[in-house]
A and B are shown apart, each in its own frame.
Chain A
Amino acid sequence: MTEQNVVTNKGMVRAEFNFWVGKYMDKFYDNLENKKIVGNKCPKCSDVFVPPRQVCGKCNETIPLEQNWVDLTDTGTLKNYTITKWKITERGSRKVKDSIIGMVQIDGSNTAIIYKLLDVDPADVKTGMKVKIEWNDKTKGEPGDIKGFVKA
């Protein structure tokens, strides 16, 4: 492999996407805008999903759109966490300051969502600890409405 003439070019364009979220997530975001958390419940196994889903993968049961909605609180349990310096975005990855990323099970739900843990000392973080949602001042009906979780 002794090649002399290799050209390396950059791609010049950017493709933009807009992902339709569907009616289930639309309802979730409507509630998020009002600083409320909703999930939906599988009619068969009664598992509660946050964010809501059309299908319960465990039972392969379709959850009707109109029914089985569950109002949930903004508190949860920390199931797992990790601390990383890396910030990865669509544009690329870079090192920023340490952030604690937690996997939080909202009370009353059976799955977990992943958000930052705010205002916590890394040494104090323990799995199983109680956390609470810190809302953004301005909510827009998007995942960023939840700023992160703080110690409850």
Chain B
Amino acid sequence: MDKVGIVGYYYMKMSPDLIYGRYNLIFETVRGALDSVNLKKKDITTVISATNDYYDGRTISNAYCVEPAGAYLADESKAEMDGAFAAQYGLMRILSGNHKLAVVWGGSTPSCYPYDSAQLYQTDPTFERPIALVNNITAGGFQMRAYMEKYGVSAEDIAKVAVKNRKNAAKNPLANPEAQNANITVDDVLKSDILSDPVTELMYAAPCDGLAAILLAPEKQALKITDEPVWIKGVGSNQDPYYLGDRDLSECKSMEMAAKMAFDGAGITAKDVDFAEIFEQYAHEELILAEAIGLAEKGKANELNSEINGDIPINPSGGAIAGHAPFATGLMRIIEAVKQLQGKADGYQVKDPKVAIATGQIGFCAQNNILYVLEKGGN
């Protein structure tokens, strides 16, 4: 795989309710990414959007975003999955040699749509949707119980993840203010409202408004654009079966295979990873995914020291719990990993990282996963 660089990025501070016009949000995000490396509209050759018709309340949700996203007379397409998948499509376009600068943007504003109902539209409409019992909330409950019962992990162990992420979020200036809490304790997490037993409200990455954009360029162009590109060394994605009853929810096979594909492509193993940015919809998912990636043995992820200054920092930015802007969250994980590699994560910087991973997901219980291996470039 040829080297592709992440040369620029932007995401604005997340908020539970960004009272701001949709096109203005898109414009500011894409313009912000271009401005971060002083590029112009005419430098863009391709634009990939990540939006969802059911999250935007309109058919062809990218149709009106052409101008604000800088796609006018550029090669435009839309990946209707998490932004991290859109980034994969952007990466493919760069790798094909047809394009020199790809803008990948994604995001939505859950303050404007019923997030839970929009998730329900993903269910099997011939059987599960009429009963409306399988949804993002119950799926999380099933997953956590399956994980706890199989490996004997306690709710406290899982609450610790939420505590860590919310404390990290407090240091991340762009995190959702509702998720930032420097003084949170395990008890607070366990005593918060029950969302879907055993998942409590503070273990859940509540949706908030946000958009993100990154710029991708081939090696030669990347080096001209910036002194500190971050290289995409490997990417892998994979999809599990749909029915929750078909899957062993205590593990994540799709992430295992995605990670294998990405690590093989990059020629590294999980041991070479300096830190991870994982898209976790619930606190326990961070553990399940970390195990699937190979950062820990099965059932042992809770024993990792994953603090910012720990052995293997996981989600130093706070992860999706710090702000889950649907369809931008995966891009934000990539951006946060890039920030760390560039040494720009002010206040939550991991010590001198070289190799990072960032993940994205879509579907109930992380049905479809994608994983990036990112490497520090430049000096």
Interface, chain A (partner B; CB < 8 A): 1, 3, 6, 8, 11, 17, 19-22, 25, 51, 57, 79-93, 101, 103, 105, 111-116, 122, 127, 142-144
**Least CB separation from A86: chain B residue:** B137
**Least CB separation from A5: chain B residue:** B21
Beta-carbon contact of A19 and B249 below 8 Å: no
Beta-carbon contact of A80 and B142 below 8 Å: yes
Chain A to chain B: the 5 pairs with minimum beta-carbon distance, closest first: A112-B245, A82-B141, A83-B197, A93-B116, A84-B196
What is the distance, in angstroms, from B91's C-beta to the closest C-beta of chain A?
Answer: 28
A113: contacting residue among B145, B146, B241, B245, CB under 8 A: B245
**B303 an interface residue at 8 Å Cβ cutoff?**
no
What is the distance, in angstroms, from B28's C-beta to the closest C-beta of chain A?
Answer: 8
Beta-carbon contact of A88 and B137 below 8 Å: yes
In the bound complex, how far is the Cα of B139 from the Cα of A103, in angstroms?
10
**Least CB separation from B126: chain A residue:** A21
What is the distance, in angstroms, from B242's C-beta to the closest C-beta of chain A?
Answer: 9
Beta-carbon contact of B244 and A114 below 8 Å: yes
**Least CB separation from A113: chain B residue:** B245
In the bound complex, how far is the Cα of B124 from the Cα of A22, in angstroms?
13
Asked if A86 meets B145 with Cβ closer than 8 Å, knowing A25-B127, A92-B114, A112-B245, the reply is no
Within residues 346 to 379 of chain B, which ones have a CB less than 8 A from any CB in chain A?
none
What is the distance, in angstroms, from B324's C-beta to the closest C-beta of chain A?
Answer: 16
In the bound complex, how far is the Cα of B103 from the Cα of A58, in angstroms?
37
**B37 an interface residue at 8 Å Cβ cutoff?**
no
**B195 an interface residue at 8 Å Cβ cutoff?**
yes
Size bracket of the B interface: 35 or more
30 A–B contacts from the bound complex (CB under 8 Å): A1-B28, A17-B125, A19-B126, A81-B145, A82-B141, A84-B197, A85-B194, A86-B116, A86-B135, A86-B137, A86-B196, A88-B117, A88-B137, A89-B132, A90-B132, A91-B117, A92-B116, A93-B117, A101-B138, A111-B243, A111-B245, A112-B243, A112-B245, A114-B245, A127-B145, A127-B149, A142-B130, A143-B127, A143-B131, A144-B130
In the bound complex, how far is the Cα of B132 from the Cα of A116, in angstroms?
11
Residue interface bits B106-149, CB-to-A below 8 A is 1, else 0: 00000010101101110001111111111101100110011001
Residues of B within 8 A of A127 (CB): 145, 149
**Least CB separation from B132: chain A residue:** A89
In the bound complex, how far is the Cα of B114 from the Cα of A89, in angstroms?
10
A-B contacts, CB under 8 A, total: 114
Asked if A6 meets B20 with Cβ closer than 8 Å, knowing A19-B126, A25-B127, the reply is yes
**B73 an interface residue at 8 Å Cβ cutoff?**
no
Not counting A57-B241, A82-B197, A143-B130, a sample of 17 additional A-B residue pairs whose C-beta atoms are within 8 angstroms of each other reads: A1-B20, A1-B28, A19-B126, A81-B145, A82-B142, A84-B141, A86-B195, A87-B132, A89-B120, A101-B138, A111-B243, A112-B244, A114-B131, A114-B133, A116-B133, A122-B197, A143-B128
A105: contacting residue among B120, B131, B245, B249, CB under 8 A: B245
What is the distance, in angstroms, from A81's C-beta to the closest C-beta of chain B?
Answer: 7
In the bound complex, how far is the Cα of B119 from the Cα of A85, in angstroms?
17
Beta-carbon contact of B120 and A114 below 8 Å: no
Beta-carbon contact of A51 and B127 below 8 Å: yes
In the bound complex, how far is the Cα of B244 from the Cα of A111, in angstroms?
8
What is the distance, in angstroms, from B313's C-beta to the closest C-beta of chain A?
Answer: 31
Asked if A101 meets B241 with Cβ closer than 8 Å, knowing A3-B21, A3-B24, A82-B141, the reply is no
**B19 an interface residue at 8 Å Cβ cutoff?**
yes
Residue among A20, A91, A92, A143 having the largest count of chain B Cβ atoms under 10 Å: A143
What is the distance, in angstroms, from A79's C-beta to the closest C-beta of chain B?
Answer: 7
What is the distance, in angstroms, from B303's C-beta to the closest C-beta of chain A?
Answer: 25
Residues of B within 8 A of A103 (CB): 142, 244-245
